[in-house]
Amino acid sequence: MKKLTYLLLVLAFSQVQAQKDFQGMAVYESKTQAPKFEGMRAGNRDITPEMQKSMEERMKKMLEKTFILNFDKTASIYKEEEKLDTPGQQGGGMRMMMNSMMGGGGTFYKDVKTKSYTVDKEFMGKEFLVVDSLPKLNWKLEQETKQIGGYNCFKATAVKEASKTDFRNFRPKNNDDKKDEVKKTSGDTKTNFEDNFEIPKEIVVTAWYTPEIPVNQGPENYWGLPGLILEVNDGKTTILCSKIVLNAKDKVEIKPSKKGKVISQKDYDETVIKKMEEFREMNRGRAGGPPPMGR
């Protein structure tokens, strides 16, 4: 009897320890539909077909990223995979600003137990440490299923407020809006880049999660489903898991960054929006207009 009790205690301890030491790694490929530059202007200059093609190709590359999510039972860190810059890839102020607004940043730490997140970001040469509560989405669990990487996944949908500081949320204005704006101007049918886009108030998010990996985690700030989120789509951006490794021999330290000025998400967004407005006015006031993106 004593031996049986001892074995049960050892087994229980082993299960608790296994849960405590559980860790996984998921690789995600993020792709966003690149905007079209046809019929636009760069300051006072028309964008030629050659310029348009070059800008769209560079934008496409900027919008294709690989991220690594390391997670345990309660926390995770999500970070862009480091890649070497190719010669001539460094751009001007517009490119630097857009890189800061496309889901990038440093290490995105989520703690689903405390329902909080921490992410370090660099914007216009300054380092910020955004600390705030995790956004809670009202997920609607669907019956539709599919397989992703051999895992059975279930569909879930939600509606969320679109961030005004995330470039990926920019949508082209419809033709009626453009016509109305043209009538109000001098009759020129071509406008500046930023005048052709708008940000919707809300966006519909579709996620696919697998209960086979029972953690309340996912890419970026997505969470709250009964299983690891393997795919997310918001109409413009698709984040798809391409690889999963569970309980690897080498463990990763999952903890938040501590560098940068601590700031709330609201205050950080206000800072970014203010700089965006300043940058826009500077470009509009420039006689020759801003140079093509990426130069």
102 within 8 A of 272, measured Cβ to Cβ: no
Q: pLDDT for 66-106, tens place per residue?
A: 999 999 999 999 999 876 555 444 444 444 455 555 545 68
| Tokens (6 digits) for 204 | 């519909």
CA distances to 48, 247, 263, 294 from 213, in Å:
50, 12, 33, 41
pLDDT in tens, 94-145: 444 555 555 456 899 999 999 999 999 888 888 999 999 999 999 999 999 9
CA angle 58, 94, 78 (to 5 degrees): 75
Q: CA–CA distance from 268 to each of 87, 119, 246, 265 (Å)? A: 32, 11, 35, 5
Closest CA to 79 of 103, 104, 107, 101: 107
Please tell me the predicted confidence (pLDDT) of residue 212: 97
Helix (H) or strand (E) holding 93: helix 93-99
Which residue has better confidence, 167 or 93? 167
Task: State yes or no: pLDDT of 226 exceeds 90.
Answer: yes
Read off the pLDDT band of 287 (50, 70, 90). very low
* pLDDT value at 285 more than 50: yes
Question: Which comes out higher in pLDDT, residue 75 or 294?
Answer: 75
Structure tokens of 39?
Answer: 């019929």
- Residue 201 tokens read as 């108030």
| Residue 195's pLDDT band (cuts 50, 70, 90) | low
* Residue 255 structure tokens: 């903890």
- At 39 the pLDDT is 56
* Domain layout of the chain by residue ranges: 24-134+166-198+235-285
User: For residues 201 and 258, what is the distance between their CA atoms, to the nearest angstrom?
Assistant: 32
| Residue whose pair of structure tokens reads 């992410």 in the numeric block | 119
